[in-house]
Amino acid sequence: PRGLTPNIDRLAADGVVFERAWANPLCSPTRASILTGRHAFRTGIGSLIDAGAVSLDPAETTLPEALRAFAHPGYVSAAFGKWHLEARNSTLACPPTEVHGFDFFAGTIHPIATSYCDWWEVLSTGRPERSHRYMLDSLADRAAHWIQSQRAPWLCYFAPQSPYSRLHVPPGHLQSRVSGPPCAPCKDNERACYEAGVQALDTVIGSLVASLGPQWREETTVIFTSDNGTPDS
Return the active site residues: 27, 84
Distance CA 167, CA 190 (A): 7
Please count the other Cβ atoms lying within 10 Å of the Cβ belonging to residue 115: 16
C-alpha–C-alpha distance, residues 178 and 171, integer Å: 9
Task: State the DSSP string of the chain.
Answer: -TTS-HHHHHHHHHS---TT----SSHHHHHHHHHHSS-HHHHT--S---TTSPPPPTTSPPHHHHIIIII-TT-EEEEEEE---S-TT-TT-S-HHHHS--SEEEEESS---SBTTBEEEEETTS-EEEE-S-HHHHHHHHHHHHHHT--S-EEEEEE---S-SS-BPPPTTT-SS--SSTTPBP-S-HHHHHHHHHHHHHHHHHHHHHTTHHHHTTT-------SS-----
